[in-house]
Structure 1
């Protein structure tokens, strides 16, 4: 064992760093998580609705051009 106690000191240093990272992370409560998920889902539904309307308008425009 040529490394001496370097392995032990590295482990302690890594544990300290990991503890600091875990402490700094803000825990999100279940209610705020659910609210955020619902808000994100609403945004995605609005985008999908807009995209569907644009496709319908484009299809109607193409149908009008083919009739002429």
Structure 2
């Protein structure tokens, strides 16, 4: 038995490497879902998504109600 005031051993941290292979449709969906989360509203599924080396753009058409 160990004495009561024996310090606990340090927690072991295990690092794992995960590689995801995504299709272009999955990348598009991931970008739209991330943007929805940031903006707090839904984005139409027909939005135009462009991915560039330095970032991405998501363009949607909105109707102007003339107000």
Larger radius of gyration: 1
Whose relative contact order is higher, 1 or 2, with alpha carbons under 8 Å and at least 6 apart?
2
Which structure: greater helix fraction?
1
Which structure: greater strand fraction?
2
Shorter-chain TM-score range: under 0.3
